[in-house]
Structure 1
Amino acid sequence: MGNRLAASTSPYLLQHADNPVDWWEWGDEALAEARRRDVPVLLSVGYAACHWCHVMAHESFEDPATAALMNERFVCIKVDREERPDVDAVYMEATQAMTGHGGWPMTVFATPEGEPFFCGTYFPPRPMHRMPSFQQVLSSVGQAWETRRAELRSSAASILQQLGERSVVAGGTQPPGEPELAAAVEALAADFDAARGGFGGAPKFPPSMVLEFLLRHSARVGDARALALAEGTLEAMARGGIYDQLAGGFARYSVDAEWVVPHFEKMLYDNALLLRVYLHWWRLTGSPLGRRVAEQTGDFLLAELRTPEGGFASSLDADSEGEEGRFYVWTRDQLSSVLGDDDGDWAADLLGVTPQGTFEHGTSVLQLLEDPADDERWASVRTRLLAARAERVRPGRDDKVVAGWNGLAVAALAEAGILLQRSDFVEAAGAAAELVIGLQSRGGRLLRTSRDGVAGTSAGVLEDYADLAEGLLALLAATGDARWLEAAAELLDTAVELFAADDGGFYDAPPDSGLVRRPRDPLDGPAPSGQFALAGALATYAAVTGRTQAREVAERALGVATLVAGRYPRAGGWGLAVGEALLAGPLEIAVVGEPADPRTVELHRAALAATSPGVAVVRGAPGDDRVPLLQDRPLVDGEPAAYVCEGFACRRPVTSPAELRRLLDELGAHPSAVGEPPSDRVVIE
């Protein structure tokens, strides 16, 4: 039988369109149907790149007998957590409260009003490991609804009351200052894995936001230990199996503490964030590895995730041909068959391909154990292995375009495009911004997703407005096109209006989301929290426009980062990074000159190469007054010029990159080490 998912713009929901389950999409109609039939809701939440979601789908949702039981007893609703993070957040909070853990697939039973009374994650088709089978769960819940309905409703009401009574730490009025930021470094050093990089034990997720904080802190105060923490992690990840040594791009996480074996799915947000972090590492230290990884990750985004419409797809699956990682792993024999015995043995030793394997079935995940002694040989080996791998069955791609994650990609590519002199990166960033603004904007409000040039129906959440604004401001800095400032201003004004709470914090969902509880989490997850992301975008916007009120809103939103800095800084990395920007700035650099003039180009690149986290850069032609920082900024003796202002005081304009670097050095803005070899390092033992 078919179901109602066939018209969805979510690839995850489309994967279930041919299930014998009579699925509904989340919405008022589905809940109304549950009330009409007087049956509970069965809510199943997952996402396209989720391995165990696929397993449960194959075992249960494709099974006619299980589907018949689901259809008879429940109104079944399928949710893509990436499309509806607000729905996911509400029911994940309930799941964690009831079970002590969470994850996907998430399975929730709720009243027809959407109030949860029984939650779980994966359920097997047969009882195993003290877990009941999914059919047993369906029968038990269905029978309980018939015989103990009042008890279930009372339980649901109690759960919602308890969740409502939980205090959400939204923050106060003070952003993190010197003591809190120093305490965060201390706490991170105590949690650092000196032998293998990263923080804590297995599994290890790329700590993108924490790394950005550490790099900014090092740049601002010259803290060698903060830099060592970041570098130890960045190098370990770049050489490990979590990074695709052939084509670039990072997997979701490492299942071990050594970064060897990843969970192979690749997410847009991870790669956008990591591209920017590796770019900043190179900018700060001149690390060749940082530059290579940043550029290859940008290439990965354009080659693997770019959609025909110009946006960026959400993810690549972990599986191909029904096996996780099959596309990426190798045996020594496979290397030799592609490369010949000599190059095969050389590559196997270089890439950590062992006779017994580091993964499953004797296969190995490719690592880069050391820098190749012969660059030409490595280039040849890499090219041939890529060609051979291209003949394999590729992992599936979730090609929906998420507004916020595209904003992260826009920011990274725009900045990288200027610093790496890759005009294709800047062009791709502009095209993605055009798509999202043009297709996913309705009456001043954002829609979260689109696919194949068709906008979805889900309302944008806070991270969509904040991350997209961040990307547009980075595009403004890269291109000088004032329309990006205008679009960012509209997004930020709308975000503050829609999502602000009374205590200086922000909700994650708009007020008209229709959920049983309005979700709110100010701390980072795998991507920056919406609240911290909004604070960062507002801080940049305030520097570019002079709107002090925007900075004040940003400062209040960072109060929670102040509270977690010394206790759990890994939950507040982006807030701490924004705190570094507030302490270091605003340091405004306005570059004025004809865009095609090489002197303007070099001045502009020198401005963006400044490592101070408080720098805000704009560029424009003479007489362009659409950006406040560019107003009344003429050429100097007919030459392009850079105007540098700090603390409402401006220095004499300069006309050469060397002069600009000297001036920034005087201001403590630590000019970039790009092009210089890395110098003294601290080793954390």
Structure 2
Amino acid sequence: MTDSADETHVEWREWGEDAFEAAERAGKPVLLALVTEWSEESHNMDLATYAEPRIAANINDGFIPIRVDADRNPHVRERYNMGGFPSTVFCTPEGEILTGATVLGIDGFREILDSVRRTWDQQGEKAGSLPRPLKEEPPRGKVTARIEEHMIEQLLGTFDDEFGGWGNDVKFPLPRTVEFALVRARDQATRTLDAIQTHLLDTYDGGFYRFSRNRNWGAARCEKLADENAAVVRALAHGYRYTGEESYRESAERGIEFLTTTLWTGDAFAASQGGDEEYFRFEPSERADADAPAVDETVFAGHNGLAIDALLRYYAYTDDETARQYARQARDTVTETLVEDGRVQRYPGADAPQGLLVDQARTLRGLVTSWSVLGEPGPAVEVAEWTLSTLQDEDGSVRDGPTGGAGLLDEPLYPLDTTVELADALLDLAALTGDEQYRAAAYDAVAAFAGAGERMGVEVAHYATVAARLDDFQVIEVGTEAGSDLHRAALRLADHEAVVVPMAQESRDLPADEARLVVDGEKQGVASTPEELEALLIA
């Protein structure tokens, strides 16, 4: 719950079976408010709309109001999000959706309240419906090279030649799209990185704003989220690896500074900082005397998994000890406090959701990168095994969490984005363990959506990345321990979609002082020095 909720006159209830049962007993529809700590609109709607006594009285009298923090409950968010925060959703006591909107002022709220009451009085439960993703099975198909080809066509067809980035409206950084483009359309990738660091980097406090409202990257939305900052840092680090452009390294460093100062709790990375645009428009001298936007200090396992991954990728290219130390501390905090027998808890607290795909996949991502870069796997195998045994169906589709709970949580949801994140991490795990079952599981997960490959746009280029890796799986096995000259060279020289496996001599037929390139299981050559490795990888 946000502090601003205390200033409303609405009698908010917590998400859970009790609230929906109360709606059933009372014969009333549910008003669900999905909010986030970082959304200024969420706070403003509390103060302007929900605090209006007559609006609140109408809600309390005719509805069962439930308030949900969307960051703490992503499984609820994915079923009820109306396209932004706050999301204002009207539901039946069974959880089916009547209608919804995002931000509503007093007049708009009065109108929708009246409309929902009329609909409910006339139709009752029959007026409810399931969101489209809950009504359709994933569009299964065969994973082929055409998926990557189609995505390259999408890059070329939607790139903004004038301002950089993709599309001609709102500009999101799309860091995974940048990474896809780095090895397929590098000019597009670098022009987009240039725009990101010019327009979305907070040059005073560090960190990256969420997106820009205009095609020319102007009018940035100023909230800063840990997971989104981590993704941008990683893309910049990869940009530096391919181009040697010092500004990309410097911008990534500014992102890391934000993560390790403003968002550092002492043990791990906090969730987000609010986007008070008045503050972020101040000059540096004015900011020094102003109160910075509030930080949500919740430690989310998935957010930290992405931050661990990003900092270690940066460390792999730069040997930056600060990045390594913070990544290790966050990793240890997450694994010691939020992981038990492979099941990941979203955040500390007895009521926190457990076993959500977003946290399982992103925690696994941080752990496999830790294994590759530091030689320290942590519970990577346990997290993968719990995820596959609990969330993957027999046909390979992956659910967003254990089924069950209030509202629409009883309905299985198969999300594309987090399925791809899991598959990507499983491919790394297959290389690191030498166990092909993880590659097979990754293929099955990606195949669940392959039937829609021709309909995908650049915003899901990560899907095409993983499809391409399945088709051309590159592994560099290094016989030496992590941190050796040969291992460090492999991390710097490898394509960022390849996997570097340290200490490979322990489980494979590889001399302790050599590195070997393996593509789709076929040995391509060996090297015993960084120079020989560079020649092998370039050949």
Q: TM-score, normalised by structure 2?
A: 0.92
Gaps of 5+ in 1: 1-11, 96-101, 320-324, 335-384, 524-528, 667-685
Q: Which residue of 1 aligns with 2:247?
A: 289
**Contact map agreement 2:151 2:461 (CA 8 A) in 1:** no
Q: How does 1:475-486 map to 2 (within 5 A)?
A: 475-482=370-377, 484=378
Cα–Cα, structure 1 residues 618 and 14, in superposed 2: closer, same or farther, change >3 Å? farther
Question: Which of these residues, 392, 406, 418, is aligned with residue 530 of structure 1?
Answer: 418
Q: Do residues 550 (structure 1) and 438 (structure 2) align? A: yes
| Alignment check: 8 A CA contact 1:589 1:618 kept | yes
Unaligned runs of 5+ in 2: none
- Does residue 354 of structure 2 align to residue 459 of structure 1? yes
Separation in 1, partners of 2:65, 2:415: 31
Tell me, what secondary structure is at the counterpart of 2:493? coil
Q: Distance in 2 between matches of 1:498 and 1:41?
A: 31
Aligned to 1:603: 486
Q: 2-side partners of 1:444 and 1:647: how far apart?
A: 28
1:571-596 deviations in whole A, cap 9, x for unaligned? 42111122233333232322414x6x
Give the whole-Å Cα distance in 2 for the aligned partners of 1:303 and 1:164: 39
Equivalent residue for 1:204?
Answer: 171
CA contact (8 A) 1:561 1:572 kept: no
User: Which residue identity does 1:155 align to in structure 2?
Assistant: A
- Please list, as runs of the form range in 1=range in 2, the aligned pairs for 1:341-360 lying within 5 A after superposition: none
Q: Does 1:326 align with 2:271?
A: no
Q: CA deviation at 1:118?
A: 3.1
The one-letter code matched in structure 1 to 2:534 is: R
**Which residue pairs with 1:78 in the alignment?**
67
- 8 Å CA contact retained: 1:255, 1:262: yes
> Could you tell me which residue of structure 1 aligns to residue 272 of structure 2?
315
Residues 1:41 and 1:530: Cα distance change in structure 2 (over 3 Å) = same
Q: Which residue of 2 aligns with 1:518?
A: 411
Q: Match of 1:423, as an amino acid?
A: E
Q: 1:425-464, aligned counterparts within 5 Å?
A: 425-442=323-340, 444-450=342-348, 454=349, 456-464=351-359
In structure 1, the partner of 2:148 is: 181
Q: Contact (CA 8 Å) 1:603, 1:657: kept in 2 or not?
A: yes
Q: 1:49 offset after TM fit, Å?
A: 1.4
Richer in helix (by share): 2
Shift of 1:659: 2.1
Cα distance, 1:440 vs structure 2: 2.0
Tell me if the contact between 1:535 and 1:557 (Cα under 8 Å) persists in the aligned partners: yes
C-alpha change, 1:15 and 1:589, in structure 2 (3 Å) is: farther
Aligned partner of 1:115 in structure 2 is 96
Aligned 1:108-507 pairs, distance under 5 A: 108-125=89-106, 127=107, 132=108, 134-138=109-113, 141-142=116-117, 145=120, 147-148=121-122, 151-156=123-128, 159-160=129-130, 163=132, 166-172=135-141, 174-177=142-145, 179-215=146-182, 218=183, 223=184, 226-240=185-199, 242-308=200-266, 310-319=267-276, 325-330=277-282, 385=284, 389-442=287-340, 444-450=342-348, 454=349, 456-482=351-377, 484=378, 487-507=379-399
> Secondary structure at 1:297's aligned position in 2?
helix
- The secondary structure found in structure 1 opposite 2:72 is coil
Question: Partner residue of 1:364?
Answer: none
Root-mean-square deviation over aligned CA pairs:
2.6
Question: One-letter code of the match for 1:41?
Answer: V
Aligned-partner Cα distance in 1 for 2:225–2:289: 23
Cα 1:60/1:314, change in 2 over 3 Å: same
Provide the residue aligned with 1:22 in structure 2.
11
Contact 1:407 1:433 in 2 (8 A): yes
2:233 maps to amino acid: L
Counterpart for residue 347 of structure 1: none
**Contact 2:195–2:217 (CA<8 Å) still a contact in 1?**
yes
Higher alpha-carbon deviation: 583-592 or 411-420: 583-592
| Aligned mates of 2:188, 2:247 — CA distance in 1 | 16
> Does structure 1 residue 33 correspond to structure 2 residue 22?
yes
For 2:413, the aligned partner's letter is R
Residue 556 of structure 1: CA displacement?
Answer: 2.4
Report the Cα offset of residue 43 of structure 1: 0.8
CA 1:580–1:284 in 2, change beyond 3 Å: closer, same or farther? farther
Q: Which amino acid aligns with 2:447?
A: G
CA offset at residue 277 of structure 1?
Answer: 0.8
Match of 1:617 among 491, 497, 500: 500
Distance 1:449 1:58 in 2: 28
